[in-house]
Amino acid sequence: MSTFFHNCTLKQKSEIDIKKRFGKAIRRRRRELDLSQEHLAEISGLHRTYISSIERGQRNPSLENIDNLTKALDISISALFANYGIEVEE
């Protein structure tokens, strides 16, 4: 475990974890649709580097941007969360 992660509070760890899980879900769905980050950026109205940072778990996108992404990926927000393992583990 990295020193950074070890020194984070529980709240910070959960925020890092959800951003990483969300990013992985976006990447999986994008790849399923055989879309490049550039194409996803174009159809979602977001910048490619922003999409890249979301997929790496470095960004905490707003609800509006989540909505833009899921529409561009032709999936509902709830289906993305349910089908791609974003829900918080018990």
Cβ within 8 Å of residue 59, ≥6 positions away: 19, 23, 50, 53
pLDDT band of residue 87 (cuts 50, 70, 90) is low
> pLDDT (tens digit, 9 = 90+) per residue, 2-40?
454 455 565 565 666 899 999 999 999 999 999 999 999
What six digits make up the tokens of 30?
């994008």
Chain length of the chain: 90
